Amino acid sequence: MSTSNRLHAVNVVAKIKTPAPCPAAPVPEINFAEDVFNIQTMKSYLPKGSCQKLLSTIRQGTPLNPEIAGDVAHAMKQWALERGATHFTHWFQPLTGSTAEKHDSFLDFEGEKAIMSFSGKNLIVGEPDASSFPSGGLRSTFEARGYTAWDPTSPAFIKRHGNGATLCIPTAFCSYTGDALDKKTPLLRSIQALSNSTRRLMKCFGLPDEKVEITLGAEQEYFLIDRNFYLQRPDLLQTGRTVFGAPPAKHQQLEDHYFGAIRMRVLNFMTEVEKELWTLGIPAKTRHNEVAPAQFELAPLFEEVNLACDHNMLVMEVLRQVASRHNLVCLLHEKPFAGVNGSGKHNNWSISYGKRNLFNPGDDPDQNAIFLTVLCAIIEAVDRHADILRATVAGAGNDYRLGANEAPPAVISIYLGDQLKEVIHLLETGSGRTSRKAGSLKIGVDTLPQLPQDATDRNRTSPFAFTGNKFEFRAPGSSQSCSGCNVVLNMIAAEAFDRISGVLENADKKDFNAVLQKELRAIIKAHKRILFNGDGYTDDWLSEAARRGLPNLPTTLDAIRTLTQDKNIALFEKYGVFNRRELESRYEVSLEDYLRRIHIEGSVALEIATSMILPAVRGEYEKCVRALAEAKQADVKAGMQAVRRDAEIFGKGCDDLVVQTATLRKALADKQDEIIPAMQALREVVDQLEKVVPDDSWPLPKYREMLFIY
C-alpha cells in the first residue's frame, strides 16, 4: 500500500473517531434482558399452570412436559411479534465451532387469509440439513436428515438486524440416528452426570438433597484493528491471522497498554457492545486493555454453565458485528500477530450445591471437610485425565499461543497457591505446623487454618489455577467454544466424586472422618505430581514435568489422538457424554479442521509471497540495477557502494523467496507435515525484507500501522 493510500486510511479513521464534545447526560435506564424470553417474561405471557411446569424443567431439571409446548409457542410468538420479529430460527452450535441458524417466517395461511403462526412442533423440533455440517463420518452426504431440539434451560432471545428481528430458540442438534452433532448436547449430558455425582457425594456428608449448579465465567480476549487495514491483508481476511509481519520497534515491551486508559474510539465500541449484550441478558461486567496493543478483554458475571456457553457464542458474534459498525474488525484468532501476546478465553469454573459453593473454604469442620474432599477430587480428576483436558483446547490457532510465554504451557498442571499447598502438605503428612495454626490436620477436628476466600495469589503461567472460589482454566483459545473443556471438566469431576463416594458409602458412621482422612491422604500421595506453583514458562518446568511423568502434548495432532484411546472412550461412555461413534467423529472433525486450516494458511502465504511480495522486492532490485547502470554510464562514483549493497540485498531476497516458495508449494502438494516449517522459513525471509523495502513499495499494511488504534 502506498504512503498516500495509508495516509488516506488514517485520515478516514481520524474522521470516524473524533467525537463532538457534548454535555454530560444522565445514565439511561438499563432494560436488561428486554430481548430475552426469560422467567419474568414467561410469567407475563404464559398461563399459570404451563408456566409452573416449564419453570420446574428449568429450575429442577424435571422432564419437559410436551403438553405445554403449544402454550409456550403461542406465548413466544406473541412476545416476539410485539418486539418486531417476523421470523424464528432454531439456533444451534454445530461442530464448525460457530453457530448456525435457518430462518422461517411466522407467515402462514388459513384459506386465503394470511396469519402469523408458530406451533408447539415448530418450537420443539426443527429439521435442518445435517449433511453439510462437519460430522466426522456420522452423516454422509446422502444422509441429510438431522434434528434440532429445543433446550428450555437456555431462554429464547430476539436477534435484531437492520430493520428486522428474529426469534432465536437455543437448541441441541442431533442426527437421524440420535448421535450428537453439536457442542450443546454433550455439555447437557455432562451437566447431568456431574449433578448426579455431586448429589451422591454430598449425601455421604449427610446433606439434604439440593440443586446442583455448575457455573462459568468466561473472560473473552480479542484484538481490534481498523477495517481499512484489514481489507488490504489477504491473510487476515482468509485465516484470521497475519502469516507475515515484522513486530514494530515498540509494541508491548513497556507494559503501558495493559489496563491503560481506553481510547475514545475503542470505548465507544465497548459501550455499544455492552448495551447490546445487556439487552440480550448477557451480564457483561468488566472491560479493559489487555497486554498487547490493540488487544482488549470483556468479562461477564458468572452464570449457569450451559447458559454461559451460549452467551459466550453470542458475545463473539456481537463483538464482530459492532466492530463493523465502527469501521473496525474484531479478531478472535488466538495469534493474529506474531511477536505479541495472543488471545485466550479464561474458563472460570465452579460447582454449587444449594447455596454452598463447593470451592469455598469454610470456617467450620463440616464445611472444611467438604471443601478439602472436593479439592482433592479435582486434583485427582485433572491428574488422571490431563490428556483429554488438553485435547479440549487443541486447535491450529491455539498451537501458536500455548507455551509461548504469554499463555499456559501445553503441560497441564494445577496451581493452588502457597497457603493451600501448605494445607495439602499437612493433610498428606498428618502432622506438622502451618503458618496460620499449629497442630495436626484432622478431618472433623477443626485444625484447618481458616482460609479467606482469596487465599491464593494468581499465577498467569498455570493452565489450571485455584483462584479463591473457582478454578480458572487458562488454556482455551479465544475463538473456541467453551463447551468442549467444560464437558470434560464436568465428566472427570463426576468420576472422581463417584469414586470417593464409593469409599465413603462403605464407611461406618463412627469411622467416617478417619476413612475420609485416609482417602484424601491417599489421593494427595497418588496425584500430587500435578501440583505446581512455579513459573510454567521455564524450560526447567518442562524438564520437571517430564520427570514427574506428566503428559506434554505440544501440538493439536499430539493432543487429539488421546480422544480415541480405549480408556478415554470407556470413560465418556460410562457417563453417557459421548458414545464411541461420537467420540471418534470428534477426532475426525478436529483432525480435518486442523489440516484444512494449515493448508489454507500455507496457500495464502504462498499466494501473497508470489503475487505481492516477490514483485515488490523484484521492483526494488530492478531500480537498483538501473541506478547502477546509469551511474556507471554517467561516470558517477559517489553512492555506488550503497546502491550496490541494496541491489545485493534485494537480489538475494528474490532468490530466497523463489527457494522458499518452491519449498512451500511442494509441501502443500504432498507433504502436509512440512507446511508449517515451510511457512515459517518463508516468513523469516519476508519479514526481513519488510524491514528494508521502502515503505511506499511494501504491499501490506504493517504491524506498526495496524496495532495502534486512534
Q: Can you tell me the distance from the alpha carbon of 86 to that of 414, in angstroms, rounded to the nearest whole number? A: 50
Report the pLDDT value the prediction gives residue 5, as an integer from 0 to 100.
47
Q: Could you tell me the CA-to-CA distances from 31 to 81, 195, 282, 283, 404 in Å, in that order?
A: 18, 33, 12, 12, 42
Report the pLDDT value the prediction gives residue 25, as an integer from 0 to 100.
53
Report the pLDDT value the prediction gives residue 18, as an integer from 0 to 100.
41
Task: Answer whether 248's CB lies under 8 Å from 704's CB.
Answer: yes
Report the pLDDT value the prediction gives residue 64, as an integer from 0 to 100.
83
Query: 378 CB contacts (<8 Å, ≥6 apart)?
Result: 414, 471, 493, 496
Q: Could you tell me the CA-to-CA distances from 695 to 44, 691, 700 in Å, in that order?
A: 63, 9, 10
Torsion angles phi and psi, residue 458, rounded to 5: -110, 150
Query: 486 CB contacts (<8 Å, ≥6 apart)?
Result: 187, 190, 214, 216, 305, 309, 347, 349
Q: Can you tell me the distance from the alpha carbon of 673 to that of 471, in angstroms, rounded to the nearest whole number? A: 36
Which grid cell is 213? 449448579
Q: How many helices (H) and strands (E) does the chain have?
A: 24, 18
HSE, side-chain direction, 13 A CA sphere, residue 374: 30
Which residues of the chain carry a pLDDT beneath 50?
A: 1-22, 432-440, 445-447, 452-453, 455
Report the pLDDT value the prediction gives residue 9, as an integer from 0 to 100.
42
Report the pLDDT value the prediction gives residue 444, as an integer from 0 to 100.
58
Q: Pick the closest to residue 489 from 400, 593, 613, 575 (CA basis).
A: 575
**pTM higher than 0.85 for the full model?**
yes
Task: Answer whether 212's CB lies under 8 Å from 60's CB.
Answer: no
Q: How many residues does the chain have?
A: 710
Angle, CA of 273, 278 and 283, to the nearest 5°? 100
The H or E element that residue 504 is part of is helix 483-504
Residues 175-231: tens digit of each pLDDT: 877 899 999 999 999 999 999 999 999 999 999 999 999 999 999 999 999 999 999
Report the pLDDT value the prediction gives residue 557, as an integer from 0 to 100.
96
Task: Answer whether 210's CB lies under 8 Å from 354's CB.
Answer: yes
3-class secondary-structure state, position 567 = helix
- Each as own residue / partner, the long-range contacts of residues 144-150 (CB below 8 Å, 24 or more positions apart, any chain) are 145/175, 145/176, 146/173, 146/174, 146/175, 146/176, 146/181, 147/173, 147/174, 147/175, 147/176, 148/90, 148/92, 148/172, 148/173, 149/124, 149/125, 149/173, 149/174, 150/64, 150/90, 150/123, 150/124, 150/125
Torsion over CA: 470, 40, 196, 576 (sign) = negative
For every residue of 526-542, DSSP letters joined together read HHGGGB--S-TTSHHHH
Report the pLDDT value the prediction gives residue 439, as an integer from 0 to 100.
43
Report the pLDDT value the prediction gives residue 12, as an integer from 0 to 100.
38
Report the pLDDT value the prediction gives residue 437, as an integer from 0 to 100.
44
